[in-house]
Amino acid sequence: MILQRRDVPPRISFALEQAGVHPLLARLLAARGVRSAEELDDSLSRLLLPDTLKGSAEAGVLLADALAARRRICVVADYDCDGATACAVAVRGLKLLGADPSSIAYVVPDRAVHGYGLTPAIVDLALPLHPDLLVTVDNGIASHAGVAHARAAGLQVLVTDHHLPALVDGAVLLPEADVIVNPNQPGCAFESKAMAGVGVMFYVLLATRAELRRRGAYDGPGAPSQPRLDTLLDLVALGTVADVVRLDANNRRLVAQGLKRVRSGRMQPGVAALFQAAGREPARAAGFDFGFALGPRINAAGRLADMTLGIECLITDDPVRATELAAQLDAINRERREVEGEMRQRAEEALARLMPETEAAPSAVTLFDESFHEGVVGIVAGRVKDRLHRPTFVFARGADGRLKGSGRSIAGFHLRDALDLVAKRHPGLLLRFGGHAMAAGCTLEATQAGVSLFGAALQAVADEWLDAAALLRTVRTDGPLAVEWFNVQTATTLDAQVWGQGFEPPVFCDEVQVLQQRLVGEKHLKLKLRHAGQERDAIWFGRVEPLPAQAVLAFRLSLDEWNGRQRVQMVVEAQGG
């Protein structure tokens, strides 16, 4: 474990402070690449325009034509939170733009039955709804067979996605859809390549509204007023944070706008109901709530049940129904935690066999057990990756008998590219694969030998790509926290900012004296520390080993409320050597 302090450009930090930014916040922002106060302007007017998003203008024309002709539109969703929010944005947005509610439908794959994306089977699932146009959200860029099947059935296809397209012999291969909107397709000049699927769909709606405006849809007496698409930004923010995409400047603005709506009480009934089910206060909403409270409850439906529950919660306008659905999602999430706990125990047993105490972890880890649940392998892969700091794949047997794997990676190891190399070296091993740099999935034939071969092949790539430094976990910190900043006001100021993937929340580092320590809930270490001459309350979640009397700890500030009074506690993230 290495605690590495972030570099802070002093001139940038000083310039931000001179522009009125809180002194501590100025230092933190400068260390994260912010170079001017203008970048902190999160107003709607500062969002990137759709003009440079390749295919968005054509998508606007396609959808405007469909609305004018009252064609039936079917949204093809995905079974994670990004896909669910993108589906809700599409359904709600098209209605705002004038679609007859009866002409808008959606289908969502069952993870265990259909697999991922616009497959021919999903097209067949949509056909009884008699659509004229299929609109994919958060999927479709690699759905060559599904797109071809839909078009052979006489349907138009609009692909909206953010995943990387397929590579064949080094060349990008795109499906033959009528229109493709994806910031990661070749020739797209849109600056935000990290936009989530829900963000791409939001931008398609912006382009559609612009096309309707160009056609004069909002002109003249009796014409409808131009719809406010910003009413959808709570959903955009939720999906963006939950999908753990990099929070570049444009994504931070989308999330900030969504948080403002939530804090002011202007959110969809389903979002409000999910806050209630999670026991969170919308008026104090932060990105953390989207990522660790609401997102997991929606994802649980796609993992253990039917993502239709999550989508219905987000598209209903009935607060009572939203509350009922949120309660169901909360119950499913509790079940998901139980399944995950059992799987993590089995994973730990497998790891103990894989790497006895005398042996270091291999450069990449692959796990499979017949008891593993297909819907939870990604979570367990993430937990193992966090503990070992190794690229990790976890497999479960799917309903079709094949082995479905989900992987999580570390910095310096592009997981999707690694799968591409494994596929080239072992033709036929991977039946399908896809994903991002940090998360990816694949399917193998139903043989233990296939898992063993995959594990060896992935480890071979990791041995080539990762050196000793990359395999050593590094926690980047913001250095010591001066005593004058350890207060409720500072914690409130930090909580009001948008933090997340690629724009990590502040983590401070200091030497402390450990005054008291005890286990709470059998798996968390409750601490009383002396820091900067003051006694502090602290907790280390998931830590059971005791600390020495003196320790260097990396920690973040957290507001804790008890009996109406707020206090600051330290949440420990790591211990330095």
Cα distance between residue 292 and residue 19, in whole Å: 33
- Asked if residues 123 and 150 have their Cβ atoms less than 8 Å apart, the reply is yes
Pair 212, 62: CB distance under 8 Å = no
Measured in degrees and rounded to the nearest 5, phi and psi for residue 88 equal -65, -40
Look at residue 358 in the predicted model and tell me its pLDDT: 63
Architecture of domain 359-465: Roll (3.10)
More confident residue, 369 or 110: 369
Q: Which of 300, 323, 457, 349 lies closest to 393, judged by CA?
A: 457
Question: CA-CA distance, 339 to 345, in Å (whole number)?
Answer: 10
- Judge: domain 55-219+226-263, CATH 3.90.1640.30: yes
- Classify 323 as helix, strand or coil: helix
CB 49 within 8 A of CB 190: no
- Token readout for 468 is 């000793």
Q: 475-575 has which fold?
A: OB fold (Dihydrolipoamide Acetyltransferase, E2P) (2.40.50)
Average pLDDT over residues 128-137: 98
pTM of the model as a whole: 0.92
Rounded CA-CA distance 389/382 in Å is 10
Rounded average pLDDT over 542-555: 94
* Residues 445-486: tens digit of each pLDDT: 877 788 999 999 999 999 999 999 999 989 999 999 999 999
| Model pLDDT, residue 272 | 98
Kind plus residue range of the DSSP H or E element containing 424:
helix 415-425
- 499: DSSP letter: -
> How confident is the model over 415-427, as a mean pLDDT?
94
Pair of tokens at residue 212: 């309707």
- Amino acid (one-letter) located at 355: M
Summarised one tens digit per residue, pLDDT across range 205-253 is: 999 999 999 999 999 888 899 999 999 999 999 999 999 899 999 999 9
H/E stretch holding 337 reads helix 319-354
Say if residues 479 and 434 touch (Cβ distance below 8 Å).
no
Cα 365 to chain center, whole Å? Answer: 23
b/e sequence 542-554, b meaning 16+ C-beta within 10 Å: ebeeebeeebebb
Domain boundaries in the chain?
55-219+226-263, 359-465, 475-575
Q: How far apart are CA 305 and CA 79, in angstroms?
A: 10
For tokens 């397209």, name the residue. 165
| 60 alpha-carbon distance from chain centroid | 26
